[in-house]
A and B are shown apart, each in its own frame.
Chain A
């Protein structure tokens, strides 16, 4: 029998017992809805965690330091047994080299120094840190008062709430839009002729000159950025990274650099490398290590998290499938009843030329059609349940002054897989009734009243 005839006959048979087949299909759809709901919740929570982690700027970031820096003496250093004076300092050429590594989005120097801030008549000491433009999308700047920097060279500042309270205790929010004066140390490189008394071939160095820069306060952030895990977290005043670079603000790395060979050139304490995704961090880290630098990332934490969500999805999928397993019993029951009721019809079909295979395929098609309809309805139902729960969660979050979240995600693969799984379960459930129908003795079936 040709496929379109098979589908037409199956559809006609299903329409003949609309109520019973409809109820069975509803059972399947509830099973699929439960499966979709569970897996969508798992997928949504995983997306939420990934979104939060990626926006935290911690899990897609590699911190690069030079081996010249004496931060620690770990196994890498011992393995290298290298002369630290020969290690490459982190300068603009390294920044360019790192930018050329595949999957690297941006490389920004970490800017951090101690400055003095004059606001009104008072003077305050503060750690100052640079922020690259890409940090604008970071969750730390969500819901900030005011705005992010207008450009990477803007003469603007963002302050932390605690510091804003230092500036204006009564009304810290009023500092937005006001000007402050940042007093900083500017680094001015020089090179002089060799001094035989020092025993060095040349005498390169830099002068430190006190400078001032007027900055407009454009925003206030409530929380400590990056969960306190990045060194800039300790800063209370933030300026655009590029501005700090333009103004040659002296940093701690410059004091370390004075003893090295590259005194005249500008070097950085650390380079912050942002990678396209957390999954590519390891490869980028390896590539940077091959260039001869020390790296650090929080990659292991994401591995553990992925394992956790895989197990969570598995359990949610098993619980969701239970309802579908019950629904498959309903399919078996419906089709076995159909075989009994349509005994005579099966006998007639065999008498006019239907083969055992034709009868088997017909019952399979009916089971598959119920699975398809149940799958589609179930996906719609599961999706609706998800929207409803998400809506409820957001009302709850809103009442607690928390930003709205999407904890529900039904990706296309999940929708397709749920429908396919529904059809598969229905076909498996149809195995026994189809075999029973095909084996009916036509003579006995024709006698059946």
Chain B
């Protein structure tokens, strides 16, 4: 029997279908999965397997066409648009393959952006931004714009932005996809630290099994919108 207090994400028969012309695309098809609080899960699959779509559903950026996704005990499918934006603002942080920093904003402004939407007091913002940037070792490029940063630096800023509102869940969509292996390794280490030190639940989408194996406690493999394989948590294997 599942201990609901320990579950961070619970997907039950989740589907995300959409039509492309007359063809029905089953991006995610009747997926069920359970991710525990503080767990580091690697979501693997080939391109077009539905892993990013599932991540977007968990992030509350998209809504399932069937099934339910419960995150921290609340069903995202039943949330209003306003509740979903509040959920994205406070409960989850997202990292993207293409960093998704706003090019016209400086590092500080990008990291501060979620605090504006969360209506955090102005007096507290500077401290929070500096703390988040310290954590990703980016305190030295505060006034730079994204175009003046390397890929690795941009991804660090993106992580700082994802951490700024102290979310419980970190969702990373191919965070090393645009980086060389050394920089990718550094970013993976930053994400692992978030999982270990901040006890954050991490779901990381990747198509590189080797990267997932380095850090993930458990791996979920997706093929054509369905989960085809779930490896047990690392501690279970050890036992």
Point out residues on A near B: beta carbons under 8 Å: 1-2, 4-5, 9, 12-13, 16, 344-345, 347-358, 441-443, 446
A344 to B118 alpha-carbon distance, docked (Å): 20
CB pair A351–B81 under 8 Å, yes or no, is no
Task: Select the residue from B61, B116, B119, B161 with max chain A CB neighbours within 10 A.
Answer: B116
- Which residues of A are found within 8 Å of B119, using beta-carbon distances? 1-2, 5
- Which residues of B are found within 8 Å of A355, using beta-carbon distances? 81-82, 85-86, 117
A interface, over-half SS: helix
A62 to B161 alpha-carbon distance, docked (Å): 78
Point out residues on B near A: beta carbons under 8 Å: 56, 59, 61-62, 81-82, 85-86, 88-90, 94, 96, 100-102, 104-105, 113-114, 116-119, 122, 161, 165
* Partner among A2, A13, A350, A356 whose Cβ is within 8 Å of the Cβ of B61: A350
- Which residues of B are found within 8 Å of A354, using beta-carbon distances? 85, 89, 117
Nearest Cβ on chain B to A90's Cβ, whole angstroms: 76
A354 to B119 alpha-carbon distance, docked (Å): 11
- Which residues of A are found within 8 Å of B105, using beta-carbon distances? 12
CB pair A353–B165 under 8 Å, yes or no, is yes
CB pair A353–B104 under 8 Å, yes or no, is no
Given contacts A353-B89, A443-B62, contact A358 B56 (CB under 8 A): no
Q: 27 A-B residue contacts at CB 8 Å? A: A9-B116, A12-B105, A344-B100, A348-B100, A348-B101, A349-B113, A349-B117, A350-B61, A350-B85, A351-B94, A352-B89, A352-B114, A352-B161, A353-B85, A353-B114, A353-B118, A354-B117, A355-B81, A355-B86, A355-B117, A356-B85, A357-B82, A358-B85, A358-B117, A442-B61, A443-B62, A446-B100
- Which residues of A are found within 8 Å of B94, using beta-carbon distances? 351-352
Task: Select the residue from A353, A441, A443 with max chain B CB neighbours within 10 A.
Answer: A353
A4 to B125 alpha-carbon distance, docked (Å): 14
B interface, over-half SS: helix
CB pair A351–B88 under 8 Å, yes or no, is yes
A1 to B119 alpha-carbon distance, docked (Å): 6
Nearest Cβ on chain B to A94's Cβ, whole angstroms: 73
CB pair B61–A352 under 8 Å, yes or no, is no
What 9 pairs across the A-B complex have the smallest Cβ distances?
A353-B89, A355-B85, A353-B117, A5-B116, A352-B114, A442-B61, A348-B100, A354-B117, A16-B104
Nearest Cβ on chain B to A144's Cβ, whole angstroms: 68
CB pair A350–B82 under 8 Å, yes or no, is no
CB pair A12–B114 under 8 Å, yes or no, is no
CB pair B85–A443 under 8 Å, yes or no, is no
Task: Select the residue from A12, A355, A356, A441 with max chain B CB neighbours within 10 A.
Answer: A355
- Which residues of A are found within 8 Å of B102, using beta-carbon distances? 345, 348
CB pair B85–A12 under 8 Å, yes or no, is no
A11 to B61 alpha-carbon distance, docked (Å): 27
CB pair A351–B82 under 8 Å, yes or no, is no
CB pair B62–A352 under 8 Å, yes or no, is no
- Which residues of B are found within 8 Å of A350, using beta-carbon distances? 61, 85, 88
CB pair A446–B96 under 8 Å, yes or no, is yes
* Partner among A2, A351, A356 whose Cβ is within 8 Å of the Cβ of B100: A351
Nearest Cβ on chain B to A365's Cβ, whole angstroms: 13
- Which residues of B are found within 8 Å of A442, using beta-carbon distances? 61-62
- Which residues of B are found within 8 Å of A356, using beta-carbon distances? 81-82, 85
- Which residues of A are found within 8 Å of B113, using beta-carbon distances? 349, 352
Nearest Cβ on chain A to B147's Cβ, whole angstroms: 14
- Which residues of A are found within 8 Å of B118, using beta-carbon distances? 353
Nearest Cβ on chain B to A361's Cβ, whole angstroms: 11
- Which residues of A are found within 8 Å of B90, using beta-carbon distances? 353
Residue of A nearest to B113 (CB): A352
- Which residues of A are found within 8 Å of B85, using beta-carbon distances? 350, 353-356, 358
- Which residues of A are found within 8 Å of B62, using beta-carbon distances? 441-443
A377 to B86 alpha-carbon distance, docked (Å): 39
CB pair B59–A351 under 8 Å, yes or no, is yes
A344 to B100 alpha-carbon distance, docked (Å): 8
Residue of A nearest to B104 (CB): A16
Task: Select the residue from A12, A351, A442 with max chain B CB neighbours within 10 A.
Answer: A351
CB pair B116–A1 under 8 Å, yes or no, is yes
A446 to B61 alpha-carbon distance, docked (Å): 10
Residue of A nearest to B90 (CB): A353
A12 to B109 alpha-carbon distance, docked (Å): 11
Residue of B nearest to A442 (CB): B61
A404 to B102 alpha-carbon distance, docked (Å): 59
A357 to B81 alpha-carbon distance, docked (Å): 10
CB pair A443–B88 under 8 Å, yes or no, is no
A16 to B109 alpha-carbon distance, docked (Å): 14
* Partner among B61, B82, B89, B104 whose Cβ is within 8 Å of the Cβ of A443: B61
A4 to B123 alpha-carbon distance, docked (Å): 13
